[in-house]
Amino acid sequence: MDYEKEELNYLLHTYKRTYVNFVDAKGAKLYDEEGKEYIDFMSGIAVNSVGYKHPALVKAVSSAIDGVHHISNLFYIDSQVQAAKKIQELCGMDIRVFFGNSGAEANDGAIKIARKHGETAFKTKKYKVITIKNSFHGRTITTLKATAQDRFHDFFGPYPDGFVYAENIEDAIAKIDDHTAAVMLEPIQAEGGVAAFDKAELKKLRAATKEKGALLIFDEIQSGVFRSGEFLASQVYEIEPDVFTLAKGLAGGVPIGAVCTTLKDIFVPGDHGSTFGGNPLSTKAAVAVLGVLEDEYKSGRLKAAIDRFDANLAAVVADFPDLFEKRVGLGLLRGLKAKSEDIMQKTISEGFKEGVIVIKSAQNTVRFLPSITITIDEIDEGFKRLRAALIRL
């Protein structure tokens, strides 16, 4: 079958796809219709946090489909409460949670929280949201505007007002004024080159936002749910934001988003809502996934996987100095900074031929987003295949 032709006949052309049809998967491995095996170091762009066919996730989703998979948020949903309770326990903060369907929706919700707080808690209205260069916060009209990259802003204006772009943390602090409602950032800029911010700088920002009455919002869509090595990257940085957002790996592949805040009474009925958000299907999946990942963390398996992954990345940089400058990122949100865009692209394409899947990021970075449950053997096999590809570059 001509997959490209089929796609163009029926789908809007929004992705530059690799035309392979995956028909089966297990753990961190994918199989195409010809039976070829791939080690998945991408996990659906940080979504398949417990890999493929994890029995706990299969059981949770099956039980939802076999019972009540969706009801309106006008009724009590026990699994929604249980998912929020588990998030609260894992983050160690006194928060309340709102569930939506995606990271962009969660970030929209975070901006609404900041704007309402800025209008109701101060004599002078605070509405500005400062974001950082190379950020990525989503593809709704509002979160596109929040994204501090000009290339995302073409064609879709006019945009909502009130977004201010900072070059770096120091510049963000300098730009906080009497109208600033919040500073919003990804502690690890996943789409922006897998760039992890400096701990001391973020602590300085936290102090400045408190002093000046602005909220601190952490976009943990990619860095959250144990991908950084802790439940939240903010825990790695020893910082408590006023608002944080989750999505991607939270339900292991079932669409979900969450905005979590210490401003527990900021919304009243009618301020915000979602038809599908937090339904039994997504939140039963989230409860199961969080249970699995908490066990990975407590058992030490997550740390062992992170250490093994880091060692393999370091060895690649050492053995291929003409291709890569350094390894970047934290936990299992990692990257190899290539010495050119061509090297980055060839690493991805040649790796795919060898049966290992990686993805690009900005600044010529090859990005790695394996499942949190990936095994040591799967890590080693993936890097064996990657090395076979790199030898040809």
| The predicted structure's pLDDT at residue 86 | 98
Structure tokens at 108: 């929209």
Q: Is 3.40.50.300 the CATH classification of the domain at 300-367?
A: no
Cα distance between residue 206 and residue 187, in whole Å: 12
Cα distance between residue 366 and residue 81, in whole Å: 38
Cα distance between residue 381 and residue 175, in whole Å: 47
Secondary structure letter of residue 271 according to DSSP: S
Can you list the positions of beta strands (E) in 70-162? 96-100, 128-132
Task: At 259, give phi and psi (nearest 5°).
Answer: -110, 130
One digit per residue, the tens of pLDDT, for the chain of length 393 reads: 788 889 989 999 999 899 999 999 999 999 999 999 999 999 999 999 999 999 999 999 999 999 999 999 999 999 999 999 999 999 999 999 999 999 999 999 999 999 999 999 999 999 999 999 999 999 999 999 999 999 999 999 999 999 999 999 999 999 999 999 999 999 999 999 999 999 999 999 999 999 999 999 999 999 999 999 999 999 999 999 999 999 999 999 999 999 999 999 999 999 999 999 999 999 999 999 999 999 999 999 999 999 999 999 999 999 999 999 999 999 999 999 999 999 999 999 999 999 999 999 999 999 999 999 999 999 999 999 999 999 999
> What is the fold, at CATH topology level, of the domain defined by 56-298?
Aspartate Aminotransferase; domain 2 (3.40.640)
Cα distance between residue 374 and residue 71, in whole Å: 34
Distance of CA 24 to CAs 35, 97, 254, 382, Å?
9, 34, 17, 18
Report whether 315 contacts 350 (CB < 8 A): no
Burial environment of residue 19 by CB neighbours within 10 A (0 to 12, 13 to 18, 19 or more): exposed
Q: Where are the domains of the chain?
A: 56-298, 300-367
133-159: per-residue pLDDT in tens? 999 999 999 999 999 999 999 999 999
Cα distance between residue 281 and residue 66, in whole Å: 10
pTM above 0.85, yes or no: yes
Q: Amino acid identity, residue 131?
A: T
Distance of CA 237 to CAs 173, 218, 226, 229, 330, Å?
18, 11, 14, 11, 11
- Which stretches of 13-68 are DSSP H helices? 43-46, 55-66
Burial 221-250 (b: 16+ CB within 10 A, else e): bbbbbbbbbbbbbbbbbebbbbbbbbbbbb
Q: Amino acid identity, residue 319?
A: D
Q: What SS3 state is found at 209? A: helix
81-131: per-residue pLDDT in tens? 999 999 999 999 999 999 999 999 999 999 999 999 999 999 999 999 999
CA–CA–CA angle 349, 5, 152 (5° rounding): 60
Q: Amino acid identity, residue 60?
A: A
